[in-house]
Structure 1
Amino acid sequence: MATTRKLKLFNDPIYGFIRIPNPQLFKLISHPYFQRLRRISQMGMSYLVFPGAHHTRFHHALGSMHLMQQAIQVLRYKEVDITDDEASGLLYAILLHDIGHGPFSHAMEHSLVNGISHEELSLLFMEQLNKELDGELTVAIEIFKGTHPKKFLNQLVSSQLDMDRLDYLKRDSFYTGVAEGNINAERLITMLNVVDGSLVVEEKGIYSVEKFLMARRFMYWQVYLHKTGIVAEQLLIRVLRRAREVHANDGSLPASEPLRYFLANEVDRGNFTPEILLKFSSLDDVDILSALKAWQHHPDFVLSELSKMILNRELLKIKVKNREVSEKKFDKIKSDCKSAYQLSDKKVTYFVFKGAIENRAYNREKENINILMANSRTIDVAKASDHLNLDALSKTVTKYYMCYPKKSVT
């Protein structure tokens, strides 16, 4: 009896059906390392601001892979040379580009593992998977690292106009309900081309690029750098810091086995072994949330209060200004907080703190977005555009925040 091959499909709310083009990709998606991404939130603590923002890194990885399939098809139609091995490498690389994220994504990037970015962890996961798959990911790793001789392949995965950014802007806009971030990803991909080995956008797509850069700026100020999200993420970082101290004192802090390991051990680039990678692969948002639920009842005042603040969304007050708060005013607020809660100099730093946030929609020094003009010249989008705001978008805007308990300051 004849058998037919079944298509592997995922039904996505953004793009509709996402097709998995080969069995090896589906094997990667089925791997426990990748399935963990179902339990890693895409936007960290932003769900405390935008109730719909509960989508995961799993959603985003599949969406990015779908856009990469479109990009490969468009570039091949324009007679850009992409071999079958390179096409597979692109799909593997973009699928796994965020596999190194820890619980709550960026919120805890350096809280559990010191000095190792999620990109470095993604590479470690890819290298481990490459061993399991007998070298199947070798080209993908070259593309991800930027060592592949065809520069544009890496640009499709990691640049200022890559499939990662095209998906997360559109996806995060959809789930937060912030319409300003809704970009026309299909139009941008259709306008892609390659000149002298580098990715460019054809002149007809310049307005889509402008919209993309403006959307990035809006999404950072309105969503990614929303003041409530900032204070929630800072509290989460401080919860983990306090948990380390409490665990060091008595060693009996309730936590899952993998979380307890990272609380008890200082892990950095120098001692990050394959065994530790395996422990890290067991960590997700569930470990943190279950720990917070237990820690809210802990006798340590700092640990319990910070845990309650996050769980009950009774956060610190946060003020965001264009200028940094004066040391005199900052010291006064700390002093008031110490008196109100009977805190030591060390403990008050968990409740009163300040910092800075930056927004730069377009980094011209890092890697330009080049426009292919009708005369076959390529020119930076900020120079090619008649939109005066684009030059301003390449400048870093810095704002300063201060957080403190609402009841301690009159």
Structure 2
Amino acid sequence: MKDSHKFTIINDPIYGFITLPQGLLFNLVEHRYFQRLRRISQMGMSYLVYPGAHHTRFQHALGCLYIMGKACETLRGKGVAISDAEMEAAQAAILLHDIGHGPFSHAMENSIVENTSHEEISLRFMGKLNEEFNGSLTTAIAMFTGSYPRRFFHQLISGQLDMDRTDYLKRDSFYTGMAEGNINTDRILAMLNVKNDQLVVEEKGIYTIEKFLVARRLMYWQVYLHKTSLVAEQLLVRVLKRAKELTLAGQELPASSSLQYFLRDDISLLPFSDDAMEVFSNLDDYDIVMAMKYWCDHEDFVLRKLSAMIINRHLLAIKIKKKPFQEDFIKAKLEEVQIKYQITKKEAQYFVFTGTITNQAYTFTKQGINIITKKSKIIDVIEASDQLSLKPLSKVIIKNFICFPKKQGDL
């Protein structure tokens, strides 16, 4: 039997020492499902823009576990009754919230696994782990899904001021070198409280929350929606789609057995069998990179060129503007590629395509960020703020983009 007094110390570059006690949390971290997150990048293809952005979902999840513990301790200190079992469940839920992410975080959701999301797959993984750990995650799953009676726990896990956002803004800012995203995590946690079973922020912490929302807005435009990162992720999605198209047409592509499984079959959440879950648990960034290196020499023009673009960082050009692009402009770009490379319109559409990007730093919902005044009145942060610049943060900003080959060179 393991000594319950033993613990493991992890040295995190953001928070310093993270203590991981023996027991459920330690065993979850040690599990191979969770260890896979060491091989899943936190920011997808952003390392092509920010060379330091090679951190992983594993690091992010550990950071979330740490600050969830700090948040629970803060609330306890303010008289909020949180049992040891509830605190462990909340930490387990936030630890596993990203366990369903596929290679490069979001690429598979938009390419070879249809009609599903990483949140849904995460819930499936949590269910399998709950069976393996004899029901130890039942409360954590209830908190994750929002069915646990004490609603503020779900807000800490999945809300507009949750521990997920609180960690990834600070962590991504650190690894990209973008100081604009460096929020004051300690101050945010110190200002948390619970009123009427909902998470609130004490009035004196309003300026820290304003900084948090502005930082989120800036990080999206400057980092998460950076035009080069956007092009790279769009190319990766199209690499996988083309690989699946060729595989379903009968071609054998060099790839790991795990990747070939998802290329061969039409996979969605509904028929996501135990076999599919097991294969998915072995799939990571390395499978995709290895496959693309092979595909750089493939006879198919589209697959070869798309793979080489990512491997060699020879990406498409991109234009972004508020209004949609004219059909004549899109048509001209497609025809130019068709004629130059003697390919079909369908093939040319892998190199000339349009889309939209959206940025909304704050949403008016039931799980908004609430400020509690000194008179115990609860008001939304946008209404409580005396900064006029905060109000536009709730507006949905939609921009249009078009990608196409650069003029000066070949594909």
Same fold by TM-score greater than 0.5 = yes
Matched, 1:126 2:126: yes
Is contact 2:6–2:21 with CA below 8 Å preserved after alignment? no
Greater shift after overlay, 323-332 or 44-53?
323-332
The amino acid of 1:392's aligned partner reads: P
CA shift for structure 1 position 365:
3.2
Q: Secondary structure at the match of 1:362?
A: coil
Contact 2:317 2:403 in 1 (8 A): yes
Corresponding residue number in structure 2 for 1:401? 401
Q: How does 1:58-97 map to 2 (within 5 A)?
A: 58-97=58-97
Could you tell me which residue of structure 1 aligns to residue 372 of structure 2? 372
Distance 1:4 1:365, change over 3 A: closer
1:114 aligns with 2:142: no
Query: Contact 2:5–2:22 at 8 Å: present in 1 too?
Result: no
Match of 2:31 in 1: 31
Tell me how far apart the structure 2 counterparts of residues 53 and 4 of structure 1 sit (CA, whole Å): 36
2:240 alignment counterpart:
240
Moved segments of 4+, more than 4 Å: none
Taking the aligned partners of 2:4 and 2:332, their CA distance within structure 1 comes to: 73
C-alpha deviations, 1:29-78, integer Å up to 9, x for none? Answer: 00000000000000000000000000000000000000001001000011
d(CA) in 2 for partners of 1:212 and 1:22?
A: 34
SS of 1:109 mapped into structure 2 = helix
Instruction: Give matches, 1:248-287, under 5 Å.
Output: 248-287=248-287
* 1:295 alignment partner in structure 2: 295
In 2, the alpha carbon distance for the partners of 1:66 and 1:359 equals 28
Q: How many residues align?
A: 408
TM-score of the pair, normalised by structure 2: 0.97
After superposition, give the CA deviation of every residue in 1:177-227 in whole Å (9 maximum; x if it has no partner).
000000001100100000100000000100000000000000000000000
Tell me if structure 2 keeps the 8 A contact 1:354–1:402: yes
**1:212 paired residue number:** 212
| Residue 222 (structure 2) aligns with | 222
| Corresponding residue SS for 2:357 | strand
Percentage identity across paired residues of the two chains: 56
TM-score (norm: length of structure 1): 0.97
Please tell me whether the aligned partners of residues 181 and 216 of structure 1 are also in contact (alpha carbons under 8 angstroms): yes
- Whether the 8 Å contact between 2:173 and 2:179 is mirrored in structure 1 is yes
Whichever residue aligns with residue 214 of structure 1, its letter is V
Distance of 2:366 and 2:43 partners within structure 1? 25
**Distance of 1:174 and 1:155 partners within structure 2:** 25
Are 1:47 and 2:47 an aligned pair?
A: yes
Deviation at 1:246, TM superposition (A): 1.4
Local SS of the residue matching 2:127: helix
8 A contact 2:155–2:367 mirrored in 1: no
Tell me the secondary structure at the aligned position of residue 398 of structure 2: strand
d(CA) in 2 for partners of 1:155 and 1:213?
16
Q: Which amino acid aligns with 2:194?
A: V
In structure 2, C-alpha distance between the alignment counterparts of 1:26 and 1:111, rounded to whole Å? 34
Letter in 1 for 2:143: I
Structure 2 CA distance for aligned equivalents of residues 33 and 148 of structure 1: 25
Contact 1:308 1:314 in 2 (8 A): yes
Structure 2: gaps spanning 5 or more residues = none
Structure 1: runs of 5+ lacking an equivalent: none
Q: What SS does the aligned partner of 1:271 have? A: coil
Moved more, 11-20 or 336-345: 336-345
Partner SS state of residue 249, structure 2: helix
Using the TM superposition, give the Cα deviation of residue 324 of structure 1 relative to its aligned residue in structure 2, in angstroms. 1.2
Q: Is the 8 A contact 1:258 1:282 kept in 2?
A: yes
Instruction: Quote the offset at 1:275 in angstroms.
Output: 1.5
